[in-house]
A and B are shown apart, each in its own frame.
Chain A
Amino acid sequence: MKLFLELFLSFLQVGAFSVGGGYAAMPVIQSQVVEKYGWLTMSEFTDLITIAEMTPGPIAVNSATFVGIRIAGIPGAIIATFGCILPSMVFLSILAKLYYKYKTLSTIQHVLAALRPAVVALIAGAGVSILMMVLWHGASVSFNNIDWVGLGLFAAAFFALRKWKLNPILVMALCGVVGAALNLALGLG
Chain B
Amino acid sequence: MRTVTKAKKNKKPVPKLLQLFLSCLYISAFTFGGGFVIVTFMKKKFVDQLHWIDDEEMLDLAALAQSGPGAIAVNAAIMVGWRIDGFIGMLVAVLGTIIPPMVILSVISLFYKAFASNRYVALVLRGMQSGVAAVIFDVVVGLGQNVIDTRNVVYYLVMAAAFAASVVLKVNVIYIILAAAALGLVLALIEKKTGKTVGQLPKRKEEQK
Spell out A's residues near B (CB within 8 Å): 13, 15-23, 25-28, 31, 46-47, 49-62, 65-66, 69-70, 74, 77-78, 81, 84-85, 87-89, 91-93, 95-96, 99, 105-128, 130-131, 133-134, 149-151, 153-154, 157-158, 160-162, 168-169, 171-180, 182-184, 189
Contact = CB atoms under 8 A, between A and B. Distances in A.
Interface string B136-169: 1111110110110010001110111111001100
Interface string B43-81: 000000000000000001000111111111111001100
Contacts of A111: 181, 184-185, 188
Interface stretch (B1-9, B10-18, B30-38, B201-209): B30-38
Contacts of A49: 132
Contacts of B123: 179-180, 183-184, 189
Most chain-A Cβ atoms within 10 A of its Cβ — which of B69, B104, B125?
Answer: B69
A91 B187 CA distance: 22
Interface string B172-194: 11101101110111011001000
A157 B70 CA distance: 28
Given A56-B29, A96-B64, A116-B146, A89 B78 contact: yes
A21 B36 CA distance: 8
Nearest to B124: A176
A120 B127 contact: no
